[in-house]
Every structure is written in C-alpha cells, then in structure tokens.
Amino acid sequence: MFRSRRAALLRRLWRQRCPTPGPEEGPGALKPAAHALFKKLKDEELELLLQAVESRGAWESGCVWVPRGAKQTLPPQVLLCRLFRWPDLRQPHELKHLCYCQSAGGRGGCGDAAALCCNPHHFSRLAAPETPPPPYSKSISPSWPTEPKPPQLLEFSCNHAEWRDTSLSRSAARDGCWCKLAYWEHRTRVGRLYAVHEASVNVFSELPRGSGFCLGQLPAAHRSRAVRRARGKIGRGLLLSRELSAVWAYNRSEHPIFVSSPTLGPPGAHGLAVLKVLPGYSVKVFDYERVGGMGAGGWQRGDGPCDPHSVRISFGKGWGPCYSRQFITSCPCWLEVLLAQPR
C-alpha cells in the first residue's frame, strides 16, 4: 500500500514537469537525475513538493529538505526549478531564496545547516538592472539626461491633503511600520494607505491562500474598461519584503510588472529608470545604503518631484521613454510604496 502511494505521488509529480525541455535537452533528459533526487525525499516531502508544483506557487507550501553535499549532476534546487519552472535555468546564482523559505539568509533546515530546501516555489529568478534577461533590457532608458528636468506638478483627481499624505515617508516611521502602500488607478488613489508592519507583504487581487493587501476588496465605482482589464491581470500580484538593507519585489503574477525607484538607475543618473520584471523574477527595488548619498531633498522624475524613499510599481503596463505612456499616472493600475526613513 505504501509503495503504491509513493508511486502515485511520483506519477503526479512527473506530469507537472515543464512541457518544453531546456536547450540541448531531449524529452526525459532530466528524468534519471530527478528520480535519484526523489528517492532521497520522504513521502511527506514529496507531498509538499507536489502541493507546490500543482498549485504553481499559489499556496505557500513548506520547505522540501534534501541533505547538502548529495552527489547530483545538478544542484537539487536547480534541477527542480528547471524541471518544474524554468527549463533554461543554468546556475544556482541565477536564483534567490524567497523571504519565507527557511533556507533564506543561510538558515539551515532541521535545526542546522545540513539540509537545503529545494522547493522550486521557494525560489525566484534574479532580475538585475546590470544584467537584465531578455526580452526587457530595452525597458531601461539607453541614454540618461545630463540635467534634471524641471518639475511638472501633477493634477491628481484626489485632494492635495491626500497627495501630501502619500509623499511623507517619515510618517511611516512614527507609526512603527517600514512602509505604507498606496494603490492608484491612473491619477486617482483608491482606498486608504495600507501600513506594513511584518517583514513581508503580499499585494494581490486573487490569492487562494494567504493574507496581505487585497486590491480586489477596494471600491470599484466609476472604473474604466482599461482599468478593469488591467485589474483582471493582477492575480497573485507581488510579494514585497524588507531584507537587510534593501527592499525586494517578487512578481507572483502571470504578467510582467514594471518598477521604478531612485536606486534602480545608474549612479548619478537623473533620468527615469523603469525595469520590466517578468513572472517568477525578483528584483531589488530599493537600496537603503545607496539612497543615503542622495540627500534628503525631493527626487525629480519626469512627472514631477517625489519622495526619494519611494518605489512605484505598475501592473502589466510600462511607462517612460521606451513606452507610449510617458508617466506612471497614465498606467491603469499602479502601486506606490512609501518607505519609512531610517532613524
């Protein structure tokens, strides 16, 4: 009975593999290495792995531990990520542990560092402005203006008090949270600010399990067709996490997100840097150490001054020099992350 149960788990797992093999790999090329790894996993870990891959990461599953130093052609995390998520993955340094994985930050499993989590949905691929993976390298402006543009103050449909509330990051520190989230549709802010006290937060429209900032619960009056269409693509949204001296964003949805912050562009640049982040990728959206040398004054973007301790994220639609939308206020659905300034 136990053998048949394990065999059924393995059959279900194998059916979840990516339909397209990686470059220079034929169908089933990873099967011997995968089954060798599966033999090292207990039935409970196989069930956790199956839950993760069948839900495609929609449900937060536990760690799947494998002993470190096991002889494998590929590292276990690379093998399973290639098998179930990214067939073109090559090296471990292309991956980043997500903040909720117990292996993140060097923490080992089972009370020590003798085991490694290989749950493929506890990893993201790294997107970095210095080495952006195709096809979105063109989303970074190829040239940077030598002089900042004069500020062009926006005429938001909300009142001035509301806009001022979303541009003062010092207020977040007084409230004991590390950031506040403001959700916008074009030029209109929808709902109140969402304060984040935990180390990470999910921002989503639809999520089977989990908690966080649910955009689907915000009021829906006078919503245009373009906004409704864009909101339908948010889905699982993104995961924001405060890690050491940086803030990371992980794209959990099935569509790209576009991010901009003062620390994403090249050092000394005054222009707008907008980075396209594909599904399953993570990017360091804010670096506290780097922003420290930018001064306390307002930061100039093409659409006017903004708080240098802020991040802007658009769902599904890009903006800036390489897009038809020049300003983020032309994007149907976007998020403003207002970071508390360190004391």
Least trusted range by pLDDT, from 184-198, 225-239, 299-313: 299-313
Q: What is the CATH number of the domain that holds 228?
A: 2.60.200.10
How many domains does the chain divide into? 2
pLDDT digits (tens, 9 = 90+) for 288-297: 988 766 554 4
190 shares its domain with 335: yes
Confidence at residue 301, expressed as pLDDT on a 0 to 100 scale: 55
Residue 138 lies in a domain: no
Measure the CA–CA gap between 306 and 332, rounded to whole angstroms: 20
Residue 181 lies in a domain: yes
Q: Is 200 exposed, middle or buried (0-12, 13-18, 19+ CB in 10 A)?
A: middle
182 shares its domain with 279: yes
How confident is the model over 108-137, as a mean pLDDT? 67
182 shares its domain with 311: yes
pLDDT digits (tens, 9 = 90+) for 164-213: 344 444 555 567 899 999 999 999 999 999 999 999 999 999 887 778 99
> Given 126, 160, 194, which residue is the final one in a domain?
126
Confidence at residue 322, expressed as pLDDT on a 0 to 100 scale: 82
Domain with 216, as residue range(s), is 173-293+306-339
187 shares its domain with 122: no
Least trusted range by pLDDT, from 96-100, 166-170, 332-336: 166-170
177 shares its domain with 121: no
> Given 107, 126, 145, which residue is the final one in a domain?
126
185 shares its domain with 264: yes
242 shares its domain with 335: yes
18 shares its domain with 112: yes
Residues contacting 177, CB < 8 A, separation 6+: 195, 196, 197, 340
187 shares its domain with 67: no
Residue 141 lies in a domain: no
205 shares its domain with 96: no
199 shares its domain with 271: yes
> Given 66, 93, 126, which residue is the final one in a domain?
126
Question: Cα 92 to chain center, whole Å?
Answer: 18
Output the furthest CA–CA distance in the chain (Å, rounded): 73
pLDDT digits (tens, 9 = 90+) for 68-95: 876 677 899 999 999 999 999 989 999 9
Helices 31-39, 76-84: axis angle to 10 degrees equals 120
Residue 209 lies in a domain: yes
Measure the CA–CA gap between 234 and 254, rounded to whole angstroms: 8
Task: Please answer whether residues 219 and 191 qualify as being in contact, where contact means their C-beta atoms are separated by less than 8 angstroms.
Answer: yes
Confidence at residue 142, expressed as pLDDT on a 0 to 100 scale: 31
Residue 68 lies in a domain: yes
Confidence at residue 74, expressed as pLDDT on a 0 to 100 scale: 87
Q: What is the CATH number of the domain that holds 94?
A: 3.90.520.10
DSSP string covering 35-58: HHHHHTS-HHHHHHHHHHHHHTTS
Confidence at residue 210, expressed as pLDDT on a 0 to 100 scale: 75
Nearest CA-CA partner of 79 in 50, 118, 111: 118
pTM equals 0.82
Task: Please answer whether residues 22 and 89 qualify as being in contact, where contact means their C-beta atoms are separated by less than 8 angstroms.
Answer: yes
* E strand spans, 11-140: 65-67, 95-97, 115-117, 123-126
Residue 43 lies in a domain: yes
Residue 132 lies in a domain: no
210 shares its domain with 324: yes
How confident is the model over 226-233, as a mean pLDDT? 93
Q: What phi and psi values does residue 99 have, to the nearest 5 degrees?
A: -65, -25
Residue 168 lies in a domain: no
Measure the CA–CA gap between 82 and 30, rounded to whole angstroms: 9
